[in-house]
Structure 1
Amino acid sequence: MGKTAFIFPGQGAQYFGMGKDFFDKYEDSKKYFEEASKILGFDMEKMCFEENEDLNNTQYTQAAMFTVCAAILQQIEKTGVKPDVCAGLSLGEYAALYSCGTITFEDAVYLLRKRGMFMDEEVPDGKGTMAAVLGMDADKIDDICKNTEGEVAVANYNCPGQIVITGETDAVEKASKTLAENGAKRVLPLKVSGPFHSAMLKGAGDKLEKELKNIELKELKMPYVANCNASYIYDNSQIKELLKKQISSPVKFMQSVEKMIDDGVDTFVEIGPGKTLSKFVKKINKDVTVINIEKVDDLEKLKGLEIC
């Protein structure tokens, strides 16, 4: 019998109008937006649904994405479909932890607001950046980064043929040139506000650690796979340290999916805006079933899944 994984997207999947049909149709989904507004002190409904200059700002994006994922998850849980394991990409790991029952909505949305602020403030504008490397082996990319002068390293192992690098602007540009000269199909600069998941953000992790000390984590209802080490986590004793490290460590999403498949997962349900993770999973293994739940009508896709 196969297993099911719930997976949650990270920054970059956000768009104006995300989650609005759940907000409009379900009163209990609407409450997530109202609660987030009270906790954070800004209108989450306007942030997500109306065009504004802040949604793509890291300080707001992370909490907004999480709120939408939680509102959608609420309706998925009503169908009776339950995961055997959860995972998320970067900020999506917080939604995975919420799905696993170890963190409350209130604590997660608060932490993500702080996390976004710490990440945004840690490195001055223009000092750091990221780039997507297409069509090159991950080990070769890692080797070139290590041999490039300056701070540059792999940020995201997304899927075969798509790796993201991060670091000092000059070093990323140097590495990008070398990668292109050594066989990468394309190297695309990313429009981001900082060098996410690089050692340059270690200070942001230290600040987050102080906030995490005030958060009480409950026992996990099911395991999740951590970004930092692509390992199953069964108890909450490691979680805070993993969340601290995650800010300045590479996201091992590809390895996480491979780990879950090895453990018998044959169905992945992406919950939240976009279909980015669904595409990654299919590139990792074309034989697994992938479902994305982004709109109310997408809930129909769950009818074929076994109810645990």
Structure 2
Amino acid sequence: MAALTLVAAGGLVLDDRVLVGAPIWAKPLKFSVSFVAYGLTLAWMLSLLPTARARRVGWWAGTVLTVASTVEMVLITMQVIRGEQSHFNNATPFDTAVFQVMGATVVILWLAALLIAVLLLRARFLDRATAWAVRLSSVIALAGAAVGFVMVRPTPEQLAQDDPATQGAHSVGVPDGGPGLPVLGWSTTGGDLRIAHFFGMHALQLVPLVLLVLAALAPRYARLADDRVRLRLILVASASYAATFLLVAWQALRGQALLSPDALTLAAAAAITALTVTATALALRTPASTPSTSRELAA
């Protein structure tokens, strides 16, 4: 994936073709960068598994995930070279077959990630904050990946056609390929499911990053040196992240652009912010957990 990142970056510079409103090499570049972060984080998480049996099962799940993601990227890159759309493409029997194979690899990838999440949920860790950062981030990432399955549903416009050239879409309420945010390409005129897909999947990096920041600050702030405080803060961060993921998914499904929220979306965002601030303050101020509560959270 790191090598493909360099190839795709070169393609952006040397190949001026545009497909569905975006530079044709933008998709393999974004996917390969995302897979680099995803693969490195999963490798670290698998290294935390405490038993030989769990590590063996995790190794096989990680290998299947790696093969599936590689096949996915090979097909995406092949379609770029051909100058054809990789996702949702039913223009020819060959394009349909490519998209169907991609769909199968995504299902395999998701199931492998699900198995890894189950292993992490069942594992016992010495540090409870690390345990719950790993567990909850993997579950949120699974939900983010599952948004991809929503994208393949035919739109009302496609259902009205006898033989549509495309089936499924990133955007909601507007056609794919319209005005979008710089670099990311997310629609600025309608809903875009890629936002929730991206945000959810990268919980795998961002929630553990909160843990790393707390650990780095612990020598300077005595309160953060208490592992029970760090645990409570990780639970708050995970809940806030999950709520924000649901908010952006809900916003997209209503056909609303990320940067054009209505009053209802703004109210929900304000509620999440207020609850997060309040819960963070309580996590820092509440008395230490009882031994029984600590044991339950560690289970």
Task: Give the TM-score normalised by structure 1.
Answer: 0.30
Greater Rg over alpha carbons, structure: 2
**Normalized per residue, which structure has more strand?**
1
Higher relative contact order (CA 8 A, sep 6+): 1
**Normalized per residue, which structure has more helix?**
2
Task: Give the TM-score normalised by structure 2.
Answer: 0.30
